[in-house]
Structure 1
């Protein structure tokens, strides 16, 4: 239960910070970035240097939160994976996400393809 609480807090903090950045929202809405199964953001295609820097900055913040939350008894990788499952589930139609096979897809009204280990 403590791990799940840490995951929820990590996801909320990172999401709240990212949502304040209009560049993040614009890139997400345009399908230039998307959620990956490992709990981090990815650039869809090659992107430009500014977009890659934005994604790298958000991913650094996410890793810091995952590391902080991992002190509750899970590894950073476990925290990131669980967050990835939840973040992909929270995408809305039109947003990009990466399937477990590494393919970028655009979310439809149907549930996204997630790793079978996602609960």
Structure 2
């Protein structure tokens, strides 16, 4: 994330509380990634996030999973710790592209797939 980009670049006037909760868990929005995490079809998730009268309700288990993880991410201060790590690496002269390459490598090791 660039230093001048706001971590919360979602306009809350245009999104539901559920969408904002998901944004607290997944700062880079990908319905495919989020749907896989929630064990949903990506299109079903997109319909649930719709604002139309035909939008299906969000299952309680999905709201609970997202809410609990948002709380954990907040309580662990995940964004702050990652920002501190990146700042520490920069202060040691490690280039941003090198930091990103290592983070990408660890992502692949962690979830056994490339970043989407």
Which TM-score band applies after superposition, normalised by the shorter structure?
0.3 to 0.5
Q: TM (normalized to structure 2)?
A: 0.33
Query: Whose strand fraction is larger, Structure 1's or Structure 2's?
Result: 1
Structure whose alpha-carbon radius of gyration is higher: 2
Considering Cα pairs closer than 8 Å and 6+ residues apart, tell me whether 1 or 2 has the greater RCO: 1
Q: TM (normalized to structure 1)?
A: 0.33
Query: Whose helix fraction is larger, Structure 1's or Structure 2's?
Result: 2
